[in-house]
Amino acid sequence: MSFSLRELPFVQQLEAASGGSWLNMVSALSTPTICLMAIIHFLALLWLVAWASRDLRRMVIDLETFTLGLKHRSVLASRLDLSDQIDAFISDVSELLERPAAIEDRRRLLERVSTLDERKSYLQSQSFDTMYNVCRTMIEAYPLAGVLGTIVAIGAALQGGGGGGEQTVALIVRYFGDAIWSTFAGLLAAMALMFFNSLIETKFDRLGANRASVRETIARVKRELSLSLASDRASIATERTPVTGGGQS
């Protein structure tokens, strides 16, 4: 028993409304499809904005705990941008690494390094970068989709124009509305998404830079403070070792 999509009720209704041609049906659906995909695309970008904000907040919370109680710690306004807060925390840590005399703060910083590890999920950017790259690249597809809808509409008119040139011209004029609205929807969706992307692109770029800076800072803290404090302990142990004098002659 064979099955055809034409047997489905909604397909039959679409064919009846579009004159019984698959090209007519595709032409009629091109503009709504472009609009629907643009809405989904916009929601995906909003989801990425929420993802970025969540990761930034988690970094700020961990870095604030990381530097809590350190001398010369920056006092930041609560309304300061999250990326600026992260930059300030990293500057505090870098300044502490340049002050070997602050032994107590350096020891406390090394003890807390386990609370902020460079392998934490919000410091990994591959999934986020891939999703954003797909969303940003596919903005360019909307004008092409609009042109494709226009071509399909004209093709539907030409396919149905079997009664001569005048009938063909009449059908082209009839489907001209679908063709124009499809192109208009594609261009409008692309412009709207490009504008919104321009507003959030800087935030995403700074997020990537913050992730790289935090990973580099954590690795530097582990590397430099571990060696420095180990050397200090060895020096203290050497100073406390009693010196055995030689026998008297």
The pLDDT of residue 231 is above 70: no
Q: Taking 90 as the threshold, does the pLDDT of residue 142 lie above it?
A: yes
Distance, in Å, from the CA atom of 123 to the CA atom of 227, rounded to the nearest integer, reads 25
Write the DSSP symbol of residue 121: G
pLDDT confidence tier of residue 230, bands split at 50, 70 and 90: low
Lowest mean pLDDT among 11-20, 98-107, 135-144: 11-20
Task: Report the alpha-carbon distance of residue 220 to residue 228 in Å, rounded.
Answer: 12
Q: What is the pLDDT of residue 20?
A: 47
pLDDT digits (tens, 9 = 90+) for 55-84: 888 888 877 777 776 666 666 666 778 788
Residue 152: count other Cβ atoms within 10 Å of its Cβ.
Answer: 23
CA distance 144 to 38: 13
Q: Where are the domains of the chain?
A: 35-71+79-143+176-231
Percentage of residues of the chain with pLDDT beyond 90:
24
Predicted confidence band at 194 (pLDDT cuts at 50, 70, 90)?
very high
Per-residue three-class SS string for 45-107: HHHHHHHHHHHHHHHHHHHHHHCCCCCCCCCCCCCCCHHHHHHHHHHHHHHHHCCCCCHHHHH
Which has the higher per-residue pLDDT, 152 or 143?
A: 143
The per-residue pLDDT for 241 is 55
Asked whether residue 166 carries a pLDDT value surpassing 70, the answer given is no
Which pLDDT belongs to residue 221? 75
When comparing pLDDT for 29 and 160, which is higher?
Answer: 29
Banded model confidence at residue 7, pLDDT cuts 50, 70, 90: low
On the question of pLDDT at 1 being above 70, the answer is no
pLDDT, average across residues 17-27: 62
For residue 163, pLDDT over 70 is answered with: no
Q: What is the pLDDT of residue 236?
A: 47
pLDDT tens digits, 104-136:
777 777 666 766 665 577 777 788 999 999 999
Model pLDDT, residue 116: 61
pLDDT at 2: 52
C-alpha closest to that of 28 among 169, 190, 181? 181
Nearest to 216 by CA among 42, 79, 97, 58: 97
